[in-house]
Structure 1
Amino acid sequence: MARQLRPVGLDFVETAPVRLVFAREISAAPEAVYRALAEDVPGWAEWFSAVKRARPLDDGARREVRLKGGTRFEETILAAKEPEVYAYRVDAGNAPGLRALVEEWRLLPAGTGTRVRWTFAADGSAPLRLVLKGSRAALGRAFRDAVTSLDRRLAS
């Protein structure tokens, strides 16, 4: 059963109790990366291994995401500024202990490619916050694998 989460704004990325920030440079141009993030929502399942299914809702203003393992999220897009930033807030989900979650993808030109920075900003119960902080290495690895896969996908 999906539970409603606290509706937070984009500023939550800077103030969340748990902030995990990861960055990686890839060869794809910022515009191509942005389109993959914001416009090809179903394509996320092809390059982000944790994503089982993703689909846009309400003409792209919202998304529904299902992760492998059964976690489900309903999200609202908070920022979609091509080619610089794509961010969304989880409005409802079935992750136990989660109270608020915003993910922000910042895209910065890096030579002919892009520096992709992902911020995972969350609040939840004390046990969940500990689990998230302890999962930094695993989330970092998932991010690196995902953007590497995305870069390969965009190059083909």
Structure 2
Amino acid sequence: MHACARVGLDFLDSAPYRIVSTVDLAITPAQLFEVLADENSWPRWATVITKVTWTSPPPRGVGTTRTVTMRGGIAGNEEFLAWDPFERMAFRFNEVSTSSMAAFAEDYRVVPTSRGCHLTWTMALQPANLAGRIGLSLGAPVMNRLFQRFLHNLRRYTDERFSAQ
């Protein structure tokens, strides 16, 4: 594993590369947090993820850790920087299995709406080398579409999961 910079919440706004995606969901913020806390749900909607393992015992909160395994053999050890139930969760990679990432963080912000909730997902990245910067610059449009597709998958997943409730 390669160490990543121990960035704070400010990195989510100042990172050299940011991807912001949004979706309206027909579920409550509490139901969305139920999904986000469920390690088995992530691979169902964020299909690049193959496994999520909590490495800290409940309750979840700032400082909670987990490991996320992704396609391509990439794994990241995460630490939560924010955990405001039904409103916000954010985490950073403390370590990642690739040397191409200097810093990485994600932020999930939830706002209640009259029909459920609105989710804004921000991914913030700082590549470790020139190849990573070129790759992110050239791949940004594809990554934007991919992450927006993940949120459409999340909407389908939550519609199915909560349709009987």
Does the alignment reach a TM-score above 0.5?
yes
Unaligned runs of 5+ in 1: none
Structure 1 residue 127 corresponds to structure 2 residue 131: yes
Shift, 1:81, TM fit: 0.6
Aligned equivalents of 1:119, 1:72: Cα separation in 2: 19
Shift, 1:4, TM fit: 0.8
Shift, 1:68, TM fit: 1.0
Aligned equivalents of 1:32, 1:68: Cα separation in 2: 27
Structure 1 residue 147 corresponds to structure 2 residue 144: no
* Count of aligned pairs between the two proteins: 154
Secondary structure of the structure 2 residue equivalent to 1:69: helix
Equivalent residues in 2 for 1:76-155, closer than 5 Å: 76-124=79-127, 125-155=129-159
Shift, 1:102, TM fit: 0.6
1:33 to 1:70, Cα distance in 2 relative to 1, 3 A: same
Equivalence for 1:5: 4
Larger-gyration structure (1/2): 2
Contact 2:91 2:107 (C-alpha < 8 Å) held by counterparts: yes
Unaligned runs of 5+ in 2: 161-165
Shift, 1:118, TM fit: 1.1
1:58 to 1:18, Cα distance in 2 relative to 1, 3 A: same
Aligned equivalents of 1:48, 1:87: Cα separation in 2: 16
Equivalence for 1:64: 67
Contact 2:22 2:151 (C-alpha < 8 Å) held by counterparts: no
TM-score (norm: length of structure 2): 0.85
Q: Provide the alpha-carbon RMSD of the alignment.
A: 1.6
Instruction: Give % identity.
Output: 25
TM-score (norm: length of structure 1): 0.90
Shift, 1:150, TM fit: 2.0
Shift, 1:85, TM fit: 0.8
